């Protein structure tokens, strides 16, 4: 009886050991599959994040180019001005008043000459083209082919000059912040050694883009207010008969749109990366509970009880845990597991 019971116990122990080895083998395969799936998803996320970063840089660069073009242009507002027609002379035969001279007066002296004009109403006026920007305003010269330009600051009413200076300063700060944001985005793309520094650069670039967009919007609105006040209270010889916004005005607002799109893309990248780190942190906490047999109790208490207070600690936790858990899971040999189970009883 003793021999039978001993052989039965030995056979039961072998079956139990084989069963445990099969379980460990299946667990190792599942862990390997999860690791490969997670690696593929991480690579896909990195590709998507890289594309978002490139898109943000392109939008920021486009906004910068459009804003500089609009700032240097004098076509923010265009229109026509109603001015009296000059008298026709030898070099002027269009947009002028023709003065008929009687034959009897050809022999008269210059002091007794009398000139007559039969044009009345709008026929006595010409409509000359003008275009205005932040820096200066240019008007068509109806006596020639060139243009006459004046400083827009001189045309602005004194009460509105302070707002014009604020608008100009906001435009300049808007461009400076765009340059800073562009530089930070480039550093984020090329500086890939430390993910924590990359996230910080991404956050600063997003804040800079948002601030520049808000300043650009305020600057455009202030200039619109100043121009409308100048139309009503400006010099008599400059007040337009009709006007509309030019291509530079729409270019400035297109720059604002690209700037805000770049800011939203950058913020989206930052948010998705932060959520990815948090999700990985929860996933590794779950893996720690499933693989308690591979870690001693001291390491378990260190990882489970360790709080995550910032994004930097989250990234460091993720990297350290990936090295000490996943890589260790794949380096464990089944023969070592078998030897460790020889001393255990079912």
pLDDT digits (tens, 9 = 90+) for 251-277: 999 999 999 999 999 888 888 777 776
| Cβ burial, residue 335 (10 Å; 0-12/13-18/19+) | exposed
Q: Is residue 204 part of a domain?
A: yes
101 pLDDT higher than 80: no
Looking at residue 320, its pLDDT comes to 55
pLDDT digits (tens, 9 = 90+) for 142-201: 777 788 899 999 999 999 999 999 999 999 999 999 999 999 999 888 876 677 777 788
Looking at residue 275, its pLDDT comes to 73
Domain count, the chain: 1
250 pLDDT higher than 90: yes
Mean pLDDT computed over 214-229: 95
pLDDT digits (tens, 9 = 90+) for 66-77: 999 999 999 999
Q: Angle CA(71)–CA(234)–CA(87) in degrees, nearest 5?
A: 105
Looking at residue 125, its pLDDT comes to 73
Instruction: State the pTM of this model.
Output: 0.64
Looking at residue 53, its pLDDT comes to 84
Q: Is residue 130 part of a domain?
A: no
Mean pLDDT computed over 127-136: 91
Q: Is residue 298 part of a domain?
A: yes
Give the CA dihedral 314, 319, 321, 326, nearest 10 degrees.
Answer: 140
Choice among 76-90, 115-129, 237-251, 287-301 with the minimum mean pLDDT: 287-301
317 pLDDT higher than 60: no
Looking at residue 12, its pLDDT comes to 56
Looking at residue 234, its pLDDT comes to 87
Q: Is residue 215 part of a domain?
A: yes
* 242-245 and 147-151 strand pairing: unpaired
Looking at residue 37, its pLDDT comes to 54
Give Cα 343 to chain centroid, integer Å. 63
* 136-140 and 77-84 strand pairing: unpaired
Contact between residue 63 and residue 256 where contact means Cβ atoms under 8 Å apart? yes
Looking at residue 170, its pLDDT comes to 95
Looking at residue 27, its pLDDT comes to 59
Domain range for 310: 27-76+160-333
Q: Is residue 339 part of a domain?
A: no
Name 273's Cβ contacts closer than 8 Å, sequence gap at least 6.
49, 199, 202
CATH code at position 312: 1.20.140.150
Q: Is residue 245 part of a domain?
A: yes
Looking at residue 23, its pLDDT comes to 61
Q: Is residue 318 part of a domain?
A: yes
Whole-number Å distance between alpha carbons of 281 and 314:
7
Q: Is residue 139 part of a domain?
A: no
Q: Supply the mean pLDDT for the chain.
A: 73
């Amino acid at each position: 009886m003793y021999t039978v019971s001993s052989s039965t116990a030995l056979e039961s122990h072998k079956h139990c050991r084989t069963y445990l080895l099969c379980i460990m083998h299946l667990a190792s395969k599942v862990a390997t599959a999860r690791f490969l799936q997670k690696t593929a998803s991480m690579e896909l996320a990195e590709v998507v994040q890289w594309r978002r970063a490139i898109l943000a840089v392109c939008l920021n660069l486009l906004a910068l180019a459009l804003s500089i073009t609009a700032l240097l242009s004098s076509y923010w507002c265009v229109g026509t001005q109603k001015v009296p027609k000059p008298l026709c002379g030898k070099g002027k035969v269009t947009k002028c008043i023709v003065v008929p001279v009687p034959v009897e007066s050809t022999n008269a002296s210059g002091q007794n000459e009398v000139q007559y004009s039969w044009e009345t109403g709008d026929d006595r006026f010409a409509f000359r083209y003008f275009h205005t920007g932040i820096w200066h305003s240019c008007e068509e010269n109806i006596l020639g082919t060139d243009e006459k330009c004046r400083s827009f600051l001189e045309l602005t009413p004194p009460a509105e000059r302070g707002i014009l200076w604020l608008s100009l300063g906001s435009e300049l700060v808007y461009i400076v912040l765009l340059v800073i944001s562009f530089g930070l985005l480039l550093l984020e793309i090329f500086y890939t050694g430390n993910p924590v520094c990359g996230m910080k650069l991404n956050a600063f670039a997003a804040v800079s883009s948002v601030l520049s967009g808000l300043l650009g919007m305020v600057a455009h609105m202030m200039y619109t207010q100043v121009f409308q006040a100048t139309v009503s209270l400006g010099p008599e010889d400059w007040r337009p008969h009709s006007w509309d916004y030019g291509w530079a005005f729409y270019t400035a607002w297109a720059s604002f749109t690209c700037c805000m799109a770049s800011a939203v893309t950058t913020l989206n990248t930052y948010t998705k990366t932060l959520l990815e780190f948090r999700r990985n942190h929860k996933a590794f906490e779950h893996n720690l509970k499933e693989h308690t047999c591979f870690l001693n109790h001291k390491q378990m208490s260190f990882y489970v009880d360790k709080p995550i207070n910032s994004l930097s600690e989250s990234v460091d936790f993720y990297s350290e845990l990936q090295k000490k858990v996943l890589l260790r899971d794949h380096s464990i040999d089944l023969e070592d597991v078998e030897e460790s189970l020889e001393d255990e009883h079912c």
